[in-house]
Structure 1
Amino acid sequence: MSVLALSNSLPTLPPSPSQSKSETPKPLSPLLSNFTTTTTTIHNNSISWTKKTIITALSGALSCGLVFSPPCSVALESPTIQSPPPSSEYCREDEQVLKAESGPELVTNAGIVEEAWEIVNDSFLDTGRHRWSPQTWQEKKEDIMNTSIPTRAKAHDIIRRMLASLGDPYTRFLEPEEFSKMARYDMSGIGLNLREVPEDNGGVKLKVLGLLLDGPAHSAGVRQGDEVLAVNGVDVRGKSAFEVSSLLQGPNETFVTVKVKHGNCGPIQSIEVQRQLVARTPVVYRLEQIDNGSASVGYMRLKEFNALARKDLVIAMKRLQDMGASSFILDLRDNLGGLVQVGIEIAKLFLNEGETVIYTVGRDLQYQNTVVADTAPLVTAPVVVLVNNKTASASEIVASSLHDNCRAVLVGERTFGKGLIQSVFELLDGSGVVVTVGKYVTPNHRDINGNGIEPDYRNLPAWSDVTQHLSQCSKLQG
């Protein structure tokens, strides 16, 4: 097996993760006896969810080819609750939500099909096949609803064929068993997903967009549609969904207090929830000595963009810096993506404040955005990003963002070329649909989808060439 060799010559690339039988990356070169290698893996506890999920709309934007991990259940003690307001203050829509949650047996086969139709009607982005239009989609609904749907299996089959007619390989149906395996994409660690909901006054509310049935938050009393007001006493007004999800995270089996307002009218409740981590760390890292021990390179392999990716990558980067790393390699080979928002937040770790991460385009206003870095970079040292033809989606966001902002050199093969954003929506019977809702364009306004990203080098260059390349890039942009 070939091995990673860093020197001032032009060595071959290290083996991609798919070529290795071991999860732990190999030392740089056993032929150079003066190399010192320290390999570290971040460990996190994980458990399994055994119950089905009720995520109403997990808009974490998943990539293609996801391999799902098993889900889990946990029972928690009853939370403390403030006295509820008079019944007149409850909202009719809240009563409807409660009825829907307590009466899934009322869901009809036709209702499931119509729900899937409406999701596509509201959110689907036709990215070039031109098979969707409001008129043709309405005609399809009329044709379908005029037919008999006697069984749930028939309803699911109709949804499959309905989605297939769009000609989008990423828009697809999920059986309840498939949908229930999405717990590792829970960014909160307590089984809920948040969405920013604009207010008329220009502010933003954070609402519970989805819950894992019998998961930590659901068992403790958090409800679908709740507004999150505070986490561990910290007011979250003005914070993004990602920031609040980060506040909710913590060590496995520890507790977090979440203050929520049920529905639009209350009551307000402080709920203690026990964290239960499902995702496994996707980060493996090590320190390499090069140039006869005169310099150190921090190697970081990121296998997917799950709920732990950013947190664990930050840990790795800080530890490698403390160990003396003066440059970094970020290995994104065979990384098919995952949560797009996590990819965006990871890219920000390397960018200067105000630099563009990515442009997003979609029918829904929430997918029409220019994403910029809002903090100083965690590291400013030269970076090499390793890519191949299985580097896709969120991985391509990171690679293109660092490349176009002159923060990294790309080495390897042309990337996969998946520039689309998918959201995952649950249907009322526990099944789900994955729908393409947007696409992204690089900071240099390149459309990645179907094109991929061409690397700067096929083989790993000398670090002096890396530094020179990045310097020239910055001058051209300046």
Structure 2
Amino acid sequence: MRIFLCSSPSSSLSPPPPPPPATNHHRQKSLTTLSQKPSLLRSLSGAAISVNLIFFSPVLPLPPPSIASNYTPPFVQSECREEDKQIENEKRFENAPELVTNEEIVKEAWEIVNDSFLGTDRSRWSPQSWLQKKEDILSTSLQTRSKAHDIIRRMLSSLGDPYTRFLSPAEFSKMARYDMSGIGVNLREFPDENGEVKLKVLGLILDGPAHSAGVRQGDELLFVNGVNVKGKSAFEALSIIQGPSETSVNIMVKHGNCGPVQSFEVQRQLVAKTPVFYRLEQMDNGNTKVGYLRLKEFNALARKDLVTAMKRLQDMGASFFVLDLRDNLGGLVQEGIEIAKLFLNEGNTVIYTAGRESQNIKNIIAESGPLFTAPVIVLVNKNTASASEIVATALHDNCRAILVGERTYGKGLIQSVFELRDGSGVVVTVGKYVTPNHLDINGNGIEPDYKKFPAWNEVAEHLSKCQKQQG
């Protein structure tokens, strides 16, 4: 565990400038137990994590970037054998209709969406339109399994939800079987001038492997381990990028539309680094001591290290806390929930989850009293997302903190992964997060109380007034 301590005698609070902005990323995952309907493997919380699934990919050293586009990896034969095995499995399914028919697979995927999908775009989704979709689909000839899978892909894409998607049997099997780490990068598909798909870096985990290597937001991904990824989906590209911890992957990116092309050897990383930076500020000519804490992401160390830092700041005399969540894209939602509970009274609502099924409708509350009671100022901006928004709204709506800065990103969807009977799967948006004051986070974000840093007496007055109103 590493926590950085820096005491400053400055008479005013001056948080360090935020790192290069990154959007929508966060890697945020929350696992649930297996369900019997049909087989719920995992629950994935958040948005751009739609492409952060777990896969194994062999890794070998690569030649210089100048010849990467023509490079044929020496492990191509093993890949071919794997591909032959996949083709053989697909043929086995196609030649064994008694196991499950193509029509049954499509109908099963349709029913999962019909029962569980939480549509956020009413112009694209309604029970009536989805029923009509079933009639249209089942009137189509489904002679092969690959045809059935293509129908499911098109069926899910018609929902207008970028996080609801199909997983092939190979993709689902790899996701279920391996526990792998990534390089802290999120990708988004963009059409080029010819309408072909290209991949851009939508967001990075700050100080993660890719970010530290030199990859930046907005970079176009060109090659992964010598494989040209133009035309591939973000999901396909990440299946090549991800692999065992402490192994390396070679990625080639282009900086900006006309920028230089660079090749990076990036080491995959599993061990979490502390996301907490803190210092003590002397305010009002030294009469007021303020503990400043910057939380960069919600990883497995977030709660433990934040508690350690806050206790040290308290021992140094801090009577106020500033929690800086600017450019914090999220991460582990449960860590965010547990951090929010540190400040709340027993019985206070942390967050609501809303969904069509009862297991997706919850009121998550604090089970015990607060560990910290000093007033809190939470700094937010347009890149404060997901778990960060959960923490910010939990403290704000329960009159424990004021929010200062810009409107937040607005990301609060929950996905679940279901296995189909032929070994494939579907990822479906099944719920969303709602703040204690019943604000729908997703697509809306949170409006702060102040755009600029207020006077300390305003902070105390604002929180006192809030508590009386709730009183």
TM-score range relative to shorter protein: 0.5 to 0.7
Q: Which of 117, 136, 144 pairs up with 1:150?
A: 144
AA matched with 1:290: Q
- Give the aligned partner of residue 291 of structure 2: 298
Q: Which residue of 1 is the match for residue 42 of structure 2?
A: 58
Conservation of the 8 A alpha-carbon contact between 1:334 and 1:389: yes
117 and 449 in structure 1: CA distance in 2 versus 1, 3 angstrom threshold: same
1:258 aligned residue = none
SS of residue matched to 1:290 = strand
Inter-CA distance 7–67: structure 2 relative to 1 (3 Å threshold): farther
Alignment partners' CA distance in 2, 1:436 and 1:151: 25
**Once the 2 structures are TM-superposed, how far is the Cα of residue 414 of structure 1 from its aligned partner?**
0.3
1:372 aligns with 2:374: no
Cα distance 1:351–1:314, how it changes in 2: closer, same or farther (>3 A)?
Answer: same
Deviation at 1:349, TM superposition (A): 1.5
Deviation of the 1:326 alpha carbon: 3.0
Please point out which of 274, 278, 285 is paired with 2:277: 285
Say which of 470, 473, 476 aligns to 2:466: 473
Alignment of 1:254-273 (within 5 A): none
Contact 1:63 1:338 in 2 (8 A): no
Q: Does the 8 Å contact 1:417/1:451 carry over to 2?
A: yes
C-alpha displacement of 1:165:
0.8
Task: Provide Cα deviations, 1:178-218, integer angstroms capped at 9, x if missing partner.
Answer: 97399589xxxxxxxxxxxxxxxxxxxxxxxxxxxxxxxxx
Going from structure 1 to structure 2, the CA distance change for 1:184 and 1:457 (only over 3 Å counts) comes to farther
Match of 1:442 among 423, 435, 456: 435
Compared with structure 1, are the counterparts of its residues 66 and 310 closer, same or farther at alpha carbon in structure 2 (3 Å cutoff)? farther
- Structure 1 unmatched runs, 5+: 21-54, 74-102, 186-251, 253-276
Q: Distance in 1 between matches of 2:406 and 2:454?
A: 14
Q: CA RMSD in A?
A: 4.0
Deviation at 1:462, TM superposition (A): 3.5
Paired with 1:314 and 1:5, the residues of 2 have a C-alpha distance of 21
Which of 396, 404, 419 in structure 1 is aligned with 2:389?
396
Letter paired with 2:282? I
Identity %: 63
In structure 2, how many angstroms separate the alpha carbons of the residues matched to 1:71 and 1:313? 31
Change (3 A) 1:68 1:448: closer
Partners of 2:108 and 2:309 in 1: CA distance: 43
Output one character per residue of 1:423-470: Cα deviation in whole Å (capped at 9) or x when no partner. Answer: 344556776543221223222222333221111122233434323322
Structure 1 residue 418 corresponds to structure 2 residue 418 = no
How many residue pairs align between the two structures? 321
Shift in Å, 1:342: 3.4
Partner of residue 18, structure 1: 20
Between stretches 174-183 and 362-371, larger displacement belongs to 174-183
Post-superposition CA distance 1:136-166 (Å, at most 9, x none):
43443454354336354x5554333211211
SS of the residue corresponding to residue 48 of structure 2 reads coil
Structure 1 letter corresponding to 2:441: I
1:380 deviates by 0.8
Map Cα deviations across residues 406-437 of structure 1 (whole Å, 9 max, x no partner). 11111110011223322344556776543221
Q: Tell me how far 1:374 sits from its aligned partner.
A: 1.2
Q: Does 2:175 align with 1:180?
A: yes
SS at match of 1:163: helix
Counterpart Cα distance in 1 of 2:311 and 2:349: 24
What is the TM-score normalised by the length of structure 2?
A: 0.57
Task: Spell out, residue by residue over 1:238-267, the C-alpha distance to the aligned partner (whole angstroms, 9 max, x if none).
Answer: xxxxxxxxxxxxxx9xxxxxxxxxxxxxxx
